Structure 1
Amino acid sequence: MTTTLITGAGRSLGLETARRLIDAGHTVYAGLRNPDAGDAVRSIGAHVVRLDVTDSASVQAALAELPQLDVLINNAGILGTAYGVDDLNADAMATVLDTNVTGIVRVTQAALPLLRRSANPVIVNVASGVGWPRYLQDPTHDEYPVQAVPYAASKAAVIALTVQYAKSLTGMRVNVSDPGYTDTDFNAHSGHQTVTEGTDATVALATLDQDGPTGEFHDRTGPIAY
């Protein structure tokens, strides 16, 4: 049985990822900052663990509850409070980076001992096309109108972080997904994709076997060229 941990799994993309992987036969642990808000993910058969990616003690305690771990999905993320340059300051930047980037490092480093004992260890980091400079500069892409500096910078960092982890963890499949512009609470339901479409890349990468790619950036259609 494949055991999977998903951070930020209580709603939207995280919840749908949990549902699809449970349907695929995974035992899913759903990491939530507030387990009392976990009714939706419990209803689909996931095990809820308290996990705040900004709190090292919380991360360590959550990992200690897992009997094993084969797949880690770093899904938790925030948009932040700075939406342009005029409202940007260092604290706003640091808050987003602490969750979206440093949070991945906290969880991944804590998870490595368990992952190294797996026969097929997999890591998927959920980024965004908003972290892809080519998309931000192309008026034909959904990402072009986005002005938020912290969120875009954090997702660019997640893509680079993934490549570097993949180079170091040669026995694992370590990849990064772009959900695309999906109808979720995160964007006030303005996205044109369903949550199922938005989780296609993450689910595909989470179910790779040992012959699968590593160090790649994928959307629902496949690899995105670096």
Structure 2
Amino acid sequence: MKTVLITGANKGLGFETARRLLEAGHTVYIGARHAERGRIAADALGARLVLLDVTDDSSVDAAAATIAAKGGLDVLINNAGLEERTAENGVPGAGDETAASMERIFETNVFGVVRMLHAFLPLLQRSREPVIVNVSSGLGSLSDLSEPDQPTYFYPGVAYPASKTTLNAITIQYAKAFPDMRINAVDPGYTNTDLNGRTGTQSVEEGASIIVRMAQIGSDGPTGAFLSAQGAVRW
């Protein structure tokens, strides 16, 4: 059995992923920014809680030190994510996007992942079968985003798909740099979570399936791939 850390895991896909991995017998840390919400989630699951804000260097470093002191890590799931939308107007279109709004998204979806990788790579390198799962999106597929016959073509925002495309590039480069690790990006699909204002068309149980599957692959599994429950996703 493996020791797993999931960022942004006090609700949504992260929570369901933690539940399923605990059910499979793994040791699971749920990362949460908010102490009380994290404690409630950890108690409900029977998971370990680590306070973790992926946008803050000191928070990430403290989490890495805590997990190192308790025995190490085998699987890192970079699940924490952010998308901007309002109840009134939904996702802002390209004409409303600003450098500041893009920076807010990238701080979590891109820089937060790099911050986590930098802090936790030394721990993962001590594992016999280290795995990293980066939770991406079908909106990160440039192929699908640019073709009118694909549903993602009609998404009006800029920052979120750009952040997930960048995350995909990060996944490829890290997979090449660390060939002894299994490092992949996954597309959970359009899942009904708080991130999208509960507008998703599938359940968290369905969305978490690919995350759970890729978290449990062995050293003979794929790396540098972009995958959904249906198979490979076009870059």
Q: Report if TM-score (shorter chain) is over 0.5.
A: yes
Deviation at 1:91, TM superposition (A): 0.9
In the TM superposition, what is the alpha-carbon distance from 1:137 to its structure 2 partner? 2.6
What is the CA-CA distance between 1:188 and the residue it aligns to? 2.2
Number of the residue aligned with 1:90: 99
Q: With structure 1 as the length reference, what TM-score do the two structures score?
A: 0.96
**Structure 2 gap segments, 5+ residues each:** 86-90
CA offset at residue 49 of structure 1?
A: 0.8
Give how far 1:222 is off. Answer: 1.9
Q: How does 1:91-170 map to 2 (within 5 A)?
A: 91-170=100-179
Q: Is the 8 A contact 2:187 2:228 kept in 1?
A: yes
Mapped to 1, the partners of 2:80 and 2:47 lie a distance apart of 16
How big is each residue's C-alpha offset from its partner over 1:19-41, in whole Å with a ceiling of 9 and x where there is no partner? 11111111110111112112134
Partner residue of 2:59?
A: 58
Instruction: Summarize the Cα distance change of 1:195–1:99 in structure 2 as closer, same or farther, 3 Å threshold.
Output: same
| Residue 123 of structure 1, CA deviation | 0.2
Match of 1:218 among 213, 216, 227: 227
Structure richer in helix, relative to its length: 2
Between the aligned partners of 1:197 and 1:134, the Cα distance in structure 2 is 24
Greater mean deviation of Cα atoms: 32-41 or 134-143: 134-143
Distance in 2 (alpha carbons) for counterparts of 1:85 and 1:105: 26
Aligned residue number for residue 75 of structure 1? 79
Question: Which residue does the alignment assign to 1:17?
Answer: 17
Give the Cα separation in 1 of the matches to 2:47 and 2:96: 39
> 1:42, CA displacement in angstroms?
2.5
Which amino acid counterpart does residue 74 of structure 1 have in structure 2? Answer: N
The AA in structure 1 aligned to 2:113 is I
After superposition, the Cα gap between the structure-2 partners of 1:224 and 1:85, relative to the gap in structure 1 and judged at 3 Å, is closer
Partners in 2 of 1:31 and 1:174 — Cα distance?
19
Residue 45, structure 1, aligned to residue 46, structure 2: yes
Match of 1:207 among 189, 207, 216: 216
Residues 141 and 233 of structure 2 are in contact (CA less than 8 Å); yes or no, is this contact kept in structure 1? no
Identity of aligned residues (%): 50
Q: What letter is aligned with 2:139?
A: V
**Distance change (3 Å), C-alpha of 1:140 and 1:23:** farther
Worse-superposed segment, 12-21 or 136-145 = 136-145
CA–CA distance in structure 2, aligned partners of residues 197 and 141 of structure 1 = 20
- The alpha-carbon deviation at position 193 of structure 1 amounts to 1.2
The AA in structure 1 aligned to 2:184 is N
Q: Deviations over 1:141-182 (max 9, x none)?
A: 332221110101000000110000000011100000001011
Shift, 1:93, TM fit: 1.0
3-state DSSP of counterpart to 2:155: coil
* RMSD over equivalenced CA pairs, Å: 1.3
SS at match of 1:144: helix
Aligned length: 226
Name the TM-score, length of structure 2 as normaliser: 0.92
In the TM superposition, what whole-angstrom CA distance separates every residue of 1:28-74 from its partner, at most 9, and x where no partner exists?
10111112112134311111111000000000001111121000000
Unaligned runs of 5+ in 1: none
